Structure formats: C-alpha cells, structure tokens
Amino acid sequence: MSVRKVRDAVVLMGAFLALIWILQVFNWADGYRLDPSFGILPRNVGHLGDIFTAPFLHFSWQHIEGNSVPLFVLGVLAAYRGVAKFLLVTLIVAFVSGLAVWLFQSGNELTVGASGLIFGYFGYVLVRGIVDRNLFDIGIGIVAGLLYWTILEVAIPGTPGISWIGHLGGLSGGVVAAWVLRARTPGQVTGRAGGSKSAADLLRELGDMGL
C-alpha cells in the first residue's frame, strides 16, 4: 500500500458519492421515476441488466444519507490496494448481489440502493487479509468488523422492509471477490515464456501504472 493509492481510493469514492448524490437530486426532482426504470424487478427479463444500475439510485433522502458514510469508509478500505482491482471487486459484488435479488426476491418488490455494494465491500475487507495472508489487511478487516458488525443484522433472512437477499448477496459477492482476486505467490502466477498473462499479472501491471 502507498500514500498515492490511498489518495486515489479517497478521490474515487468521493467521486462515486458525488455521482449518486447528483443522481438523487435528478431522481427526486423527477418524482423518483428513475427507480422503476432502472431498479431491479425480480425475474423480469427486461430489468436483468439493471442489476448494474440499481446501486446508483435510492428511494429517498433518508435512504441515501444512511448509505453514504459506510459506502465511503468501506469503499476506501476496499480500494486502497489499487483502483483496477477495486473496480473488479465492485463488478463482482454488483453482479452477485443484484442477481440474488433478481432470482430470489419475493413478489414484485422493486430494489434500488448501494446497500449491496456496502455489504460486498464489508465482506471483501473482512476476508481479504485472510486469503492473501497479509497481516496488515487482516488488521484492517478486524477494525472494519468492529466498526460495522451491526449492519449484519439487516442481512438476517426475513428482516421486514429490507432487501436482506440483496445484503446477503452483496456480502457473499465480497467474499467471492476476495477469493477470485486473491494475491498469488510467484510460483502460481508465473507462466511459460511467451504465454498469456494471468489476471494477477495484468492487475499488477495496472498497479505499476498507477491504476
């Protein structure tokens, strides 16, 4: 980890928060008509692609206010190892969380909000140090767990008024991302001369370029 990468993580999450707040203003001014257009509707094929847009929208000012601080803090903790890896983490989490809602949410309940990403970043930060065998990241995971362990209450099955499936799906997506994007030992990532590069190689090169 470097000061530059921490700075990049802070700037990235600041920009992300600015984007969702700008969208919230437009959504509010338009009577929240963006929500039904780009939110997740269970098992509706036309809304399957909206698993990637729903995290940018919220139902109310209270909704976005409640998500903003944990999204920023956990996002920075997830991103300080490099922007390129963080973007892959975000993609995996959004896919797993959104697909879980699309497949298993009951009825025709519309789902929007960044909660799935929050839980995904939380799960990722919790287990990243363990799968990477990195003491510093383990310590960060412990700190994050102490700060935000109470959010797990809304991932309990049957929690009324809450898309617990999306939360649990996000948490699972974060764990999956930590495993898929885990650091490899040199023996695991070295390929044959002239062979194709692994994902870990590409991420390392992007990190060297400052991404």
| Fold of domain 3-208 | Rhomboid-like fold (1.20.1540)
Which pLDDT value is given to residue 164?
84
Cβ partners under 8 Å of residue 164, min gap 6: 154, 155, 156, 157, 158
Tell me the C-alpha distance between 64 and 186, whole Å: 43
pLDDT for res 210? 52
Cα diameter, the chain: 58
pTM, rounded to two decimals: 0.85
What does the DSSP 8-state code read for residue 191?
A: -
Contact of 170 with 118, CB cutoff 8 Å: yes
User: Scanning the structure block, which residue is given the tokens 């060297």?
Assistant: 208
What are the extents of the domains in the chain?
A: 3-208
Segment 131-178, tens digit of pLDDT: 999 999 999 999 999 999 887 776 566 666 677 898 999 999 999 999
The four Cα atoms 12, 18, 20, 21 give a dihedral, to 10 degrees, of 160
The predicted model gives 38-66 an average pLDDT of 96
Q: What is the three-class DSSP state of 111?
A: strand
- For 59-88, how does the pLDDT look when each residue is reduced to its tens digit (9 = 90+)? 999 999 999 999 999 999 999 999 999 999
